[in-house]
A and B are shown apart, each in its own frame.
Chain A
Amino acid sequence: DAGITQSPRHKVTETGTPVTLRCHQTENHRYMYWYRQDPGHGLRLIHYSYGVKDTDKGEVSDGYSVSRSKTEDFLLTLESATSSQTSVYFCAISVGGIRETQYFGPGTRLLVL
């Protein structure tokens, strides 16, 4: 699992509430990614980070923000959760630099009621 953990693993929340998901890695890798997985869409990139405090948007970034204040943690925040953000969220790290193998965390199942 390349030392990646995600928390929480499951969460149920209500529309309009803020939610923060955490991705933690133990191996000091520079590049980290957040994806969401939905039926019929495969995995889609939300945001990514190429270093501490260096982040950028992915394909489906609307309604999400991220922060990376230290190498090991990459946080994904839903500022005001909506039902369309019900999904499975995966964090990934690129081991050995960009253009190398990406390993994924176990995922967080989020249900927005």
Chain B
Amino acid sequence: SQQGEEDPQALSIQEGENATMNCSYKTSINNLQWYRQNSGRGLVHLILIRSNEREKHSGRLRVTLDTSKKSSSLLITASRAADTASYFCATDVYAGGTSYGKLTFGQGTILTVHP
């Protein structure tokens, strides 16, 4: 079963609207990272949030982390057509010792922003 699962699987909005994607995970983590992937391209790193952090911002992006609920959310404000992409969360699972930074990915949320 997936450590990280994104919700919704697909999201369609109009330009200017906000987009919220959620990620749930099952076990304790060291950190959680969000990535964007445009169709047929590589992964672009968006934000890393550590287990002792609750919120981080980067430009129009806001990420929250609730370790008690084992969940994270990515908010994109004032979305643009260029934000159309797949968004993935990835967790660095806490294994009691050295995890070597191995990431476990969810299946992603496909975001479509209509002009």
Partners in one complex: yes
A residues within 8 Å of B by Cβ?
1, 31, 33, 35, 40-45, 48, 50, 56, 58-59, 90, 92, 94, 97-107
Q: Mark B91-115, 1 if CB is under 8 A from A, else 0.
A: 0100000111111111110000000
Tell me which residues across on chain A come within 8 A of B31, comparing CB atoms. Answer: 99
Q: Judging by beta carbons under 8 Å apart, are B106 and A42 in contact?
A: yes
Assess A98 versus B48: contact at CB under 8 Å? Given A42-B88, A43-B105, A106-B42. no
B81 within 8 A of A: no
Q: Complex Cα distance A29/B87, Å?
A: 26
Tell me which residues across on chain B come within 8 A of A97, comparing CB atoms. Answer: 101
B45 within 8 A of A: yes
* Chain B: minimal CB distance from A44 (Å): 7
B18 within 8 A of A: no
Interface size on B, residues (CB 8 A): 25
Closest 8 CB pairs of A and B: A98-B101, A42-B105, A43-B105, A104-B43, A42-B107, A94-B101, A106-B42, A99-B30
* Chain B: minimal CB distance from A69 (Å): 19
Q: Complex Cα distance A107/B35, Å?
A: 15
Tell me which residues across on chain B come within 8 A of A43, comparing CB atoms. Answer: 43, 88, 90, 103, 105
The one of B41, B45, B107 in contact with A40, judged by C-beta atoms closer than 8 angstroms, is B107
Tell me which residues across on chain A come within 8 A of B79, comparing CB atoms. Answer: none
